[in-house]
Amino acid sequence: MKLKTYIQMGLISFTILALVGCDTIGREQEREMNHAAVHALAGMVLDIPGLQSRVNMCPGYLVVERSGSGIPMVGKRGKGVLTNSKTGARLSVRVSEIEVDGAWGVGDYTGLYLFQSLEEFQQAFANDWHTESGSIYVKVGRERAVEYQLKRISTQLR
């Protein structure tokens, strides 16, 4: 009888510990992504004159961290943070597809996409989102950020 009680208490303790641990890991990952988004934006603003005013005027922006092989025509994936330019509200997203025109062979990079309309930003903030137009600022390592045409990008809420 005592063994059964110990096993039940152990299972309850393990369940509570797992739930608390998973929540802590999720918050830590979110803090890291928020820090990465702020750091990436700051670096690109230093590289590109006038970018800060464009960021302030847009309804929101997406900072993407992409890593992979850099093989052309292969679906590239990453993670990203959507940020509301007015309120500062952030949302972590999964970038299920991103293809940049002229950036073939680029492996790991950070990208900045500025939303042109409030409706488009609100859709991305509330649902899965996709576009095949616009431009994206790309920064590779310590190199200066460069603006490229965006062929397509898709995000999914986590």
pLDDT in tens, 48-95: 999 999 999 999 999 998 876 545 544 456 889 999 999 989 999 999
Residue 25 belongs to a domain: no
Total domain count for the chain? 1
Residue 9 belongs to a domain: no
Residue 41 belongs to a domain: no
Residue 106 belongs to a domain: yes
When pLDDT is cut at 50, 70 and 90, the band that residue 38 belongs to is: confident
* The pLDDT value given to residue 135: 92
Alpha-carbon distance of 83 to 15, in angstroms, equals 34
Residue 20 belongs to a domain: no
* The pLDDT value given to residue 28: 77
CA distances from 93 to 29, 37, 75, 132 (A): 12, 12, 17, 18
* 123-126, Cβ contacts within 8 angstroms, sequence gap of 24 or more: 124/60, 124/62, 124/82, 124/93, 124/155, 125/60, 125/82, 125/84, 125/89, 125/91
Which of 38, 30, 142, 5 lies closest to 92, judged by CA? 30
**Contact predicate 137/147, CB 8 Å:** yes
Which tokens in the block code for residue 141? Answer: 């390592």
Host domain of residue 124: 46-157
Which tokens in the block code for residue 52? Answer: 């800060």
Residue 10 belongs to a domain: no
- Residue scoring higher pLDDT (126 or 67): 126
What's the pLDDT tens digit per position in 1-32?
A: 566 665 666 556 555 655 555 555 567 777 77
Residue 33 belongs to a domain: no
Residue 114 belongs to a domain: yes
